């Protein structure tokens, strides 16, 4: 019911937010930011962010970009596989470990701190240094446990 009233209000009065600010909101949303994070960053009400993102042309734009990303996904996976694994099926020696971690985060294997705290998940890699991660990716060996 409330959602329908909000849509009617938008049709009647339009948005008072400047086009530049609307563009920043849309861009941040497309970049993966949450509506709450956008409202904090832009110092605006969550309802305003919702109204900006629920405009018909914005919804269509977001759907179009999502479809483009979905169409690219198989090519990206193939390129990443070629970058990480040799034709013989072994992990390359000079792997860019930051890329590997980004892939793991993107697939949900590594979970960001906010989600971990909300869902009570434990990040087993939080105490690892960059060198530990690089060594683990190259050799598969876990680092020694350090005393606190």
Is residue 80 situated within a structural domain? Answer: no
Is residue 75 situated within a structural domain? Answer: no
Instruction: Please indicate, yes or no, whether residues 4 and 56 belong to a single structural domain of this protein.
Output: yes
Instruction: Please indicate, yes or no, whether residues 60 and 93 belong to a single structural domain of this protein.
Output: no
Domain count, the chain: 2
* Per-residue pLDDT reduced to its tens digit, 21-65: 888 998 888 888 888 999 999 999 898 999 999 888 888 988 898
The two most distant CA atoms of the chain are separated, in Å, by 64
State the alpha helices, DSSP H only, in 44-129: 46-53, 56-84, 97-106, 113-119
Instruction: Please indicate, yes or no, whether residues 3 and 54 belong to a single structural domain of this protein.
Output: yes
Range of the domain at 31: 1-70
Instruction: Please indicate, yes or no, whether residues 62 and 119 belong to a single structural domain of this protein.
Output: no
Residue 84 in 3-state DSSP? Answer: helix
Is residue 38 situated within a structural domain? Answer: yes
* Per-residue pLDDT reduced to its tens digit, 71-98: 877 887 788 788 788 888 888 777 777 7
Is residue 50 situated within a structural domain? Answer: yes
Q: Which residue has the tokens 């992990």?
A: 91
pLDDT of residue 40: 92
Instruction: Please indicate, yes or no, whether residues 103 and 56 belong to a single structural domain of this protein.
Output: no
Instruction: Please indicate, yes or no, whether residues 112 and 56 belong to a single structural domain of this protein.
Output: no
First to last CA, the chain: 54
Instruction: Please indicate, yes or no, whether residues 94 and 54 belong to a single structural domain of this protein.
Output: no
Among candidate residues 70, 99, 118, the one where a domain is terminated: 70
Instruction: Please indicate, yes or no, whether residues 11 and 63 belong to a single structural domain of this protein.
Output: yes
CA distance 82 to 76: 10
């Amino acid at each position: 019911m409330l959602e329908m009233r909000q849509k009617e209000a938008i049709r009647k009065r339009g948005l008072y937010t400047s086009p530049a600010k609307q563009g920043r909101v849309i861009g941040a949303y497309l970049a993966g930011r949450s509506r709450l994070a956008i409202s904090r960053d832009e110092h605006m009400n969550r309802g305003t962010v919702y109204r900006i993102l629920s405009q018909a042309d914005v919804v269509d734009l977001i759907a179009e970009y999502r479809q483009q990303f979905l169409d690219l996904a198989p090519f990206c996976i193939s390129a990443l596989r070629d970058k990480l694994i040799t034709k013989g099926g072994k992990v390359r020696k000079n792997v860019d470990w930051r890329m590997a971690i980004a892939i793991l985060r993107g697939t949900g294997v590594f979970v960001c701190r906010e989600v971990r705290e909300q869902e009570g998940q434990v990040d087993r890699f939080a105490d690892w240094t960059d060198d530990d991660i690089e060594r683990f990716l190259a050799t598969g060996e876990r680092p020694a446990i350090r005393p606190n």
